[in-house]
Chain A
Amino acid sequence: MNARTRLNRASDLLWRDLGGEILVTAPGGKGVERLGGSALQVWALLERPRTVEECTRAIAGPSDAIAAEVESFLEELVARGVVEEVPEYDA
């Protein structure tokens, strides 16, 4: 994953918006994840495909330290199947 990688919510994701938190689970997964706090910003941003750079800029602003955290969080979401990379031809 790099700054230009485009991400989107996984197309097969199961989720519920509880107002103030989102519950998500991926079909192949086991548990149900709770997204709250700043994760909700990421969730809202990824309603449509965005690059990693767009996400980090929207959430972290000019702060490199926060941008690194956002990137790391996005990688975690991809690993859990909550977010998926969008192939170039779909972008």
Chain B
Amino acid sequence: MREPGAVEDIARAVARFGLPSQDPVGPLVPGRGWSALWRRIVDQRLTGLAMAASRAGVLVLPEDHGEELRSSHRDAMVWALTLERELLSLHRDLRDAGVEPVMLKGPALAHTLYPDPAWRDFGDLDLLVRAGDWSRACAVLSSRGFRRSLPEPRPRFDERFGKAATHVDESGMQIDLHRRLTVGAFGLWVDPGTLADRAEPFVVGGRELLRLDDSAALLHACLHAALGSAPARLLPLRDVVQIAHCGTVDWGLLTEWSRRWRLRAVVRHAFSEAAETLGVPLPAEAWSVSSQGASARERRALAAHLAGRRERGGPALSVVGALPGVRMKAAYVRALVFPEREFLVARTPGQRPSYVRRWTVAMSWAMRRHG
């Protein structure tokens, strides 16, 4: 394997292993490109899919490379099990506090939509809670030794505008407590309560938890794939295709949600990226979801999350346009322009907290946007 693109080609082939592909997968022989491929597989959390491909004879590895992959996969699964053990204990405490969380991604997908939970790696836990439960859920996490990695810019910012708060403990375990499904304008447009109302039970370690149903899980996978990072990571793209093919998706409902919550551009972008990057056809119904044209407003909001605008405050600026009323917009801008000092300190570790520096960055975003 000599071509520079070959590592990425094989990584993508691994990411589509087990799906109905247009191109036959394998045999994939990384040869001298193994080290780069291995790093890519671990970084993209694809060790489970790579192991399955290796066992099926699709990914052909000599013994030493196979052992390296096995070792990485074992590490990934030890961590996944450690997270699940924490989840069960945390879930008990949350229920005792009257909070019923809905699991997003990670274990919820691994145990229900993938053929084997070992195929779907995850490195943290994502829990969606209702706005009214937010404070109690944060208190439960705090009582279990978790601390927010970043404080709120101003009191009640999370409940009014925030997507999620990351909580970490001393061992490095990370729990993302979600108030909304995504950042930016789309986070405000989507009603998480509607999706939480349709949550379904699933079982982990003999305990019944709640997860998004397949239609909502696909919507969330699209949001994560399209808006989570630019360029999109391979595992979120795999999630999109996995749910589209293996989930019991109500395509009519997905179409209605996409229209109602202005997600047509996002869903179409996620479907296109997933199909093109992985080289996997999507069910025909998927394209009908976004067949009606997205509005200019939707397209602008999507562009704010993509490479180029994303690093220049695109998602934050898109929120201003999406918030209803002048008072809400003013409260949001005030929180970001005049955050609490504790927030500034946490945002600039090792530096002297400076409002002026923060305002300069915000000014440069605005200047570039209008320049």
* B is a partner of A: yes
A interface residues (Cβ-Cβ under 8 A, vs B) = 11-19, 21, 23-25, 27, 29, 32, 34
User: Is B118 interfacial (CB-CB < 8 Å)?
Assistant: yes
Stretch at the interface among B143-151, B194-202, B203-211, B227-235: B203-211
CB-CB nearest in chain A for B47 = A18
Contact call A27/B89, Cβ cutoff below 8 A: yes
Cβ 8 A contact of A18, one of B118, B205, B207: B118
Secondary structure call for the B interface: helix
**In the assembly, what is the distance between CA of A34 and CA of B74, in Å?**
9
Cβ 8 A contact of B55, one of A11, A19, A23, A32: A19
Contact call A16/B80, Cβ cutoff below 8 A: yes
What residues of chain A lie closer than 8 Å to B89, measured between beta carbons?
27
User: Is B133 interfacial (CB-CB < 8 Å)?
Assistant: no
Size band of the interface chain B makes with A: 20 to 34
Contact call A18/B81, Cβ cutoff below 8 A: no
**In the assembly, what is the distance between CA of A59 and CA of B81, in Å?**
28
Contact call A32/B206, Cβ cutoff below 8 A: no
What residues of chain B lie closer than 8 Å to A24, measured between beta carbons?
81
Contact call B116/A14, Cβ cutoff below 8 A: no
Cβ 8 A contact of A32, one of B51, B78, B88, B207: B78
CB-CB nearest in chain A for B204 = A14
* Distance of A86 from chain B, by nearest CB (Å): 14
* Distance of B185 from chain A, by nearest CB (Å): 38
Cβ 8 A contact of A23, one of B51, B78, B207: B78
Cβ 8 A contact of B77, one of A13, A16, A27: A16
**In the assembly, what is the distance between CA of A11 and CA of B73, in Å?**
25
Cβ 8 A contact of B51, one of A12, A13, A15, A18: A18
Contact call A14/B81, Cβ cutoff below 8 A: yes
What residues of chain A lie closer than 8 Å to B116, measured between beta carbons?
17
CB-CB nearest in chain B for A29 = B85
**In the assembly, what is the distance between CA of A40 and CA of B207, in Å?**
25
Cβ 8 A contact of B70, one of A14, A18, A27: A18
**In the assembly, what is the distance between CA of A23 and CA of B118, in Å?**
10
Contact call B81/A12, Cβ cutoff below 8 A: no
What residues of chain B lie closer than 8 Å to A25, measured between beta carbons?
81-82, 84-85
User: Is B117 interfacial (CB-CB < 8 Å)?
Assistant: yes
11 more A-B contacts (CB under 8 A) besides A16-B80, A16-B117, A23-B81? A14-B85, A18-B51, A18-B70, A18-B73, A18-B77, A19-B55, A23-B74, A23-B77, A27-B89, A27-B207, A34-B74
CB-CB nearest in chain B for A34 = B74
Contact call B78/A12, Cβ cutoff below 8 A: no
**In the assembly, what is the distance between CA of A29 and CA of B55, in Å?**
31
CB-CB nearest in chain B for A27 = B88
Q: Report B63-110 residues with CB < 8 Å from chain A CB.
A: 70, 73-74, 77-78, 80-82, 84-85, 88-89
What residues of chain B lie closer than 8 Å to A21, measured between beta carbons?
74
Contact call B81/A27, Cβ cutoff below 8 A: no
What residues of chain B lie closer than 8 Å to A13, measured between beta carbons?
205-206
CB-CB nearest in chain A for B78 = A32
* Distance of B145 from chain A, by nearest CB (Å): 15
What residues of chain A lie closer than 8 Å to B81, measured between beta carbons?
14-16, 23-25, 32
What residues of chain B lie closer than 8 Å to A15, measured between beta carbons?
81
**In the assembly, what is the distance between CA of A19 and CA of B89, in Å?**
28
